[in-house]
Amino acid sequence: MKGDYQDLVDEISALLGAPATLENRDFRLIAFGAHDSDDDLAMDPVRTRSILTRQSTAAVRSWFEGFGIARATGPVRIPAAPDAGVFRGRICLPVRYRGIVQGYVWLLDQDPGPGPAALEAAMEVAQRIGVLLAEEAKAGADLSREFLAVLTAGRGWQQDMAVAALRVALGPGADGLHATVCVAPWAGEAPASVPGAAAMCLVPWRGREDGGSGGSGGSGGVPGGAAEQALAVLVRLRSADVPTPAVTLATRLVQPAGPSGAAANGERHPQAAGPTAGIGEPRRGLATLADAWAEASAGARAAAAQPRLGPVAQWSAIGPYRMLATLAADPVDEPATRALLAPAHRELARTAEVFLDSAGQAGRAAAALGIHRQTLYYRLARVVQLTGLDLDEGEDRLLLHMALKSARLHS
């Protein structure tokens, strides 16, 4: 399919005597013509970024849409705007199918520009592109439905049937090597297309409740949290030892969210945090896709809980969160730590966690927290009072450490 798009873009470039680029309606690059000009102005920052990153920023998209390209049925000329990084004027050919915009073909305008006859011929090619994009979108919607069914069917014959249907939908590549990516929380609709994605769907995702650390999180659409969703992506790999395609795709998907929301003390503020991504272990075939999704979900949750892991975390790299995510999909109400985990004692909980992360070494913990050792001892004494746990006892320390990590995972 990609080769078809490239051939059609090259045809438009030949008709109009200028290199063309094709983007879908989400302004993600699909194909582009070769630039062989020695003129430095033949490219501008907007086009360069589009080609290098395969997408345009939200500001650029809004600016171009302001010229009515989403409603246009014919070529639209857009003037240069150096302040916006658009050094050259554009010609936009809307790509439509049955009245619905599917994407855009872009050309840098020139003087003299292409005449009406050339533009009309180019629009005929754009219509052929529209048919291909519409067919791909329909196939993607069908694939999305089958992919979602596999991730939510549970165990037993329902999952077997869902896997069989997805195998048919994916075709010959179904039994190849894949990695599963979870991006959560995901706002809005699923992207029309993502380079490198074999399948995509939106999956219910439990969000945070109001009220700080007492809230719950996780996946699966379980009642009790704010209704959110995650984006699930299936990525084909060439080698299990080279997960780069999945990592690159996940990084692109979380980047538009901006800052990670991590504060100077290493905490992540829920109200400022953007999406994070997790990547499950590569698997061949689809039989264990639900397990791969559980791993990817745990990775996304771990990346949100521990900023040093994110914003993209592979299952193999999240350490103790692998076990914690497996042991409890929901937060555990441990009586001994209930008071300590109340919002009023957030600093004490953080102190205890850093102390245990430091293997109980007071000097290391005090340095990590930026406090005097005596202050550390005072806080630890308060932790003992609140929990009734003995920090000199290995099992008590293990219980406290697991409770703190579990609370972070579900916050």
> In which residue are the tokens 């180019």 written?
122
pLDDT averaged over every residue in the chain: 80
Coil, strand or helix at 259: coil
Residues 191, 253, single domain; the answer is yes
Confidence of residue 5 (pLDDT cuts 50, 70, 90): confident
Q: CB atoms < 10 A from the CB of 141, how many?
A: 11
Rounded-to-integer distance, Cα 203 and Cα 220, Å: 8
- Is 48 part of a structural domain of the chain? yes
User: Which of 327, 355, 370 marks a domain boundary?
Assistant: 327
Judged against a pLDDT cut of 80, whether residue 76 lies above it is answered with yes
pLDDT for res 320: 82
Q: Which two tokens stand for residue 163?
A: 């896997």
Residues 342, 320, single domain; the answer is no
Give CA angle at 252 (201, 305), nearest 5°: 80
The CATH number of residue 90's host domain is 3.30.450.40
Task: Encode pLDDT of 45-57 as tens digits.
Answer: 565 555 545 556 6
> In which residue are the tokens 């939200």 written?
58
- Is 16 part of a structural domain of the chain? yes
Average pLDDT over residues 97-102: 88
Higher pLDDT, 195 or 391: 391
| Inter-residue contact 113 to 92 (CB < 8 Å) | no
Domain count, the chain: 3
Q: Indicate the residue type of 160.
A: D
How many CA atoms does the CB half-sphere of 400 hold within 13 Å?
Answer: 29
Residues 101, 192, single domain; the answer is no
**Pick from 216-225, 347-356, 379-388: least confident:** 216-225
Higher pLDDT, 43 or 155: 155
pLDDT for res 220: 38
Nearest residue to 280 (alpha-carbon basis) of 133, 401, 151, 109: 151
Average pLDDT over residues 48-75: 75
**Pick from 72-76, 92-96, 155-159, 379-383: least confident:** 155-159
User: Which of 133, 165, 188 marks a domain boundary?
Assistant: 133
Residues 22, 72, single domain; the answer is yes
Residues 202, 125, single domain; the answer is no
Average pLDDT over residues 379-386: 91
pTM listed for this prediction: 0.58
Judged against a pLDDT cut of 60, whether residue 406 lies above it is answered with yes
pLDDT for res 329: 59
Question: What contacts 84, CB < 8 A, 6 or more positions away?
Answer: 46, 59, 60, 63
User: Which of 102, 133, 164 marks a domain boundary?
Assistant: 133
pLDDT for res 263: 37
- Is 251 part of a structural domain of the chain? yes
pLDDT for res 271: 36
Judged against a pLDDT cut of 70, whether residue 301 lies above it is answered with yes
Task: Encode pLDDT of 133-161 as tens digits.
Answer: 887 776 666 688 889 999 988 778 888 89
Residues 47, 19, single domain; the answer is yes
- Domain residue limits at 309: 176-327
Residues 314, 382, single domain; the answer is no
Confidence of residue 245 (pLDDT cuts 50, 70, 90): very high
**Pick from 129-138, 152-161, 308-317, 319-328: least confident:** 319-328
pLDDT for res 114: 86
Judged against a pLDDT cut of 50, whether residue 32 lies above it is answered with yes
| Inter-residue contact 77 to 64 (CB < 8 Å) | no
Residues 20, 69, single domain; the answer is yes
Higher pLDDT, 77 or 216: 77
Q: Indicate the residue type of 105.
A: V
Residues 52, 117, single domain; the answer is yes
Judged against a pLDDT cut of 70, whether residue 65 lies above it is answered with yes
| Inter-residue contact 13 to 36 (CB < 8 Å) | no
Q: Cα dist. 328→221, 279, 315, 373, 402 in Å?
A: 15, 19, 16, 34, 11
pLDDT for res 256: 54
Confidence of residue 2 (pLDDT cuts 50, 70, 90): low
- Is 33 part of a structural domain of the chain? yes
Judged against a pLDDT cut of 60, whether residue 39 lies above it is answered with no
**Pick from 119-133, 200-214, 269-283: least confident:** 200-214
- Is 195 part of a structural domain of the chain? yes
- Is 168 part of a structural domain of the chain? no
Cα 398 to its chain centre, rounded Å, is 33
Task: Give one word for 240, left, alpha or beta, with left for phi > 0 and alpha for psi -120 to 50.
Answer: alpha
pLDDT for res 49: 56
Average pLDDT over residues 155-179: 88
Coil, strand or helix at 301: helix
Residues 209, 322, single domain; the answer is yes
Residues 202, 116, single domain; the answer is no
- Is 141 part of a structural domain of the chain? no
Task: Encode pLDDT of 327-371 as tens digits.
Answer: 755 666 788 888 898 889 989 999 998 998 898 899 999 999 999
Residues 311, 361, single domain; the answer is no
- Is 151 part of a structural domain of the chain? no
